[in-house]
Structure 1
Amino acid sequence: MFVGSAFVSVGLEIFLVPNNIIDGGIVGISIILSHLSKLPLGIFLVLLNLPFLIIGYKQIGKTFALSTLFSVIVMSIGTTLLHPVPPLTIDPLLAAVFGGIIVGVGVGLVIRSGGSLDGTEIVAIVCNKKSPFSVGEIVMFFNLFILGSAGFVFGWDHAMYSLIAYYIAFKLIDVVLEGLDQSKSVWIISENNQSLGDAIVNRLGRGITYLHGEGGFGGNKRVIFCVITRLEEAKLKAIVEEIDPFAFLAIGNIHDVKGGRFKKKDIH
């Protein structure tokens, strides 16, 4: 959490803030208020997050709230210490790209450690329990409003750079949370299911499960189910193409895998 919060501080003060580029959530609101009031960014990061931390303490749990408080304080101190440091670039596009990367990695590390850096996420979790919208949809609504506000404060060019930084940070958070070897679920329907199953076991080193399926147009089907990593996807497709080019193949992302014989490090 400390390293992640420090990363976010660097991304903000060395790249985004000096170029009038904001991030989403409370951080984005804090950057706007700091610009308008000329007060230090760290003050707003703490003050604006406090009400949401209280909500998080009551609704989510003590450990999460304290972890988030620690992360926010480290981030606030970091932005204060780094404020006098000159930016590495004054090119807004470079600032948006590299600032987004560093902020995304930092936020991902904090979330992976059980904390948070943004009060809007806490609100989204609480609202999710009482609304039909997902946490991601609620956070996206908040952030679109905040990023749109940047257009009136910094100009629409900077608002669009902010959107680039936010998107890059969003994708990097996923990479940190799920890793480059993100798990994928695979369903295969083939007339040569036995040959395909044997090939996946012997050549890919993955366990498989045969499922019974009933076709909508009649006839029983034998479905092969297995879990692979992202790095094994190309090899699996090559195996299917080689044995049965007409097989039905469906591949989907999985957030997490536990139990069984699956190990992400078993990459051949």
Structure 2
Amino acid sequence: MGRQLFRGLMMLIGAGLVSIALEIFLVPNDIIDGGITGISIMASYFAKLPLGIFLTLLNLPFLFLGYKQIGKTFALSTLFSIIVMSVGTYFLHPVEPFTDDPFLSAVFGGVFLGFGVGLVIRAGGSLDGTEIVAILLSKKSPFSVGEVVMFINIFILSSAGFVFGWDRAMYSLIAYYIAFKLIDVTNEGLDQSKSVWIISDRYREIGDALNHRLGRGVTYLEGEGAYTGDSKKVIFVVITRLEEAKLISIVEDWDSNAFVAVGNIHDVKGGRFKKKAIH
């Protein structure tokens, strides 16, 4: 129960931040977001009706698809987040915008938008039906979810040029880019995990140093050089992004010619690995 309440609180805060981004920064300055939210902003502009009405109505068909194809929990979480966002835009609509500078509005609107959407996604929900469409289309096409979303949003953001002017469309692209980056930061965390493979003749000393100085458990894997046929020990370790520089320094202290390969990891569970994260 506590876990569900925490997820609900995350979705509440996230949807609230998106409401602030829309009504305090973006919409008053004719800057739009991508996806159904962007379409809703333009529909609200033409119909002279509250934004929240379109945010809810236009997302309903996609919620039905999400319920059928992805699951009940996802659909209910998304419905809750969208309702909170729609209600938030209704109550924030009379509030005066913080600035009428379009660049500042794009930057800060993108920041609030990215953090808000990231929190909702991390809690297991969504705020835009285009993400559901992208998930379904990616299963039946050679394109990834990100590529489908990007194509849809380029079309929607370009449409803003015909409605609000091309300068506003460019500001919309700035806001979208900032939001896109901050969604990743919020969803993955500043301490995003990284996997590291190290090949060195001094593997034992490097492994012990990583264990003691970084506090990370290491695993020794058996390898073989394809060219020489020599047996090699490969060190495998998982670290956070903030520990990468220190790891490189430790390896160079023992073997400046060591082979080091670093890759991003979406998530880590189990074992002795610990990091600060929102669950």
Same fold? TM cut 0.5 = yes
Q: Report the counterpart of residue 244 of structure 1 in structure 2.
A: 255
- Structure 1 position 152, deviation (Å): 1.5
**Aligned residue type for 2:220:** Y
- Structure 1 position 114, deviation (Å): 1.3
**Aligned residue type for 2:242:** L
Correspondence for 2:128 among 114, 118, 125: 118
Q: Report the counterpart of residue 162 of structure 2 in structure 1.
A: 152
Correspondence for 1:83 among 70, 93, 98: 93
For 2:162 and 2:231, locate their aligned partners in 1 and report how far apart those are by CA, in whole Å. 61
For 2:75 and 2:182, locate their aligned partners in 1 and report how far apart those are by CA, in whole Å. 24
Q: Report the counterpart of residue 6 of structure 2 in structure 1.
A: none
What aligned pairs does 1:66-105 form with structure 2 within 5 A after superposition? 66-105=76-115
For 1:215 and 1:91, locate their aligned partners in 2 and report how far apart those are by CA, in whole Å. 59
1:199 paired to 2:227: no
**Aligned residue type for 2:249:** A
- Structure 1 position 196, deviation (Å): 0.9
For 1:16 and 1:175, locate their aligned partners in 2 and report how far apart those are by CA, in whole Å. 21
- Structure 1 position 36, deviation (Å): 2.1
- Structure 1 position 109, deviation (Å): 1.2
- Cα deviation 1:181-234 (Å, max 9, x = unaligned): 111100111121111111111111110111122223222321111000111111
SS in 2 for 1:11: helix
- Structure 1 position 263, deviation (Å): 0.5
For 1:44 and 1:252, locate their aligned partners in 2 and report how far apart those are by CA, in whole Å. 41
- Structure 1 position 20, deviation (Å): 0.8
- Structure 1 position 39, deviation (Å): 1.7
What aligned pairs does 1:1-268 form with structure 2 within 5 A after superposition? 1-218=11-228, 219-265=230-276
- Structure 1 position 9, deviation (Å): 0.3
SS in 2 for 1:228: strand
**Aligned residue type for 1:223:** V
For 1:5 and 1:140, locate their aligned partners in 2 and report how far apart those are by CA, in whole Å. 22
For 1:49 and 1:16, locate their aligned partners in 2 and report how far apart those are by CA, in whole Å. 20
Aligned-residue sequence identity (percent) comes to 75
For 1:65 and 1:53, locate their aligned partners in 2 and report how far apart those are by CA, in whole Å. 6
For 1:62 and 1:203, locate their aligned partners in 2 and report how far apart those are by CA, in whole Å. 46
Gaps of 5+ in 1: none
**Aligned residue type for 1:15:** F
SS in 1 for 2:54: helix
**More displaced 10-residue stretch of structure 1: 196-205 or 126-135:** 126-135
For 1:151 and 1:222, locate their aligned partners in 2 and report how far apart those are by CA, in whole Å. 57
Gaps of 5+ in 2: 1-10
For 2:80 and 2:70, locate their aligned partners in 1 and report how far apart those are by CA, in whole Å. 16
* Count of aligned residue pairs for this structure pair: 266
SS in 2 for 1:212: strand
- Structure 1 position 253, deviation (Å): 1.0
For 2:33 and 2:270, locate their aligned partners in 1 and report how far apart those are by CA, in whole Å. 37
**Aligned residue type for 1:200:** L
- Cα deviation 1:89-108 (Å, max 9, x = unaligned): 11111111111111111111
For 2:262 and 2:19, locate their aligned partners in 1 and report how far apart those are by CA, in whole Å. 38
For 2:118 and 2:261, locate their aligned partners in 1 and report how far apart those are by CA, in whole Å. 29
- Cα deviation 1:19-68 (Å, max 9, x = unaligned): 11111110011111111222211111011101101111111111111111
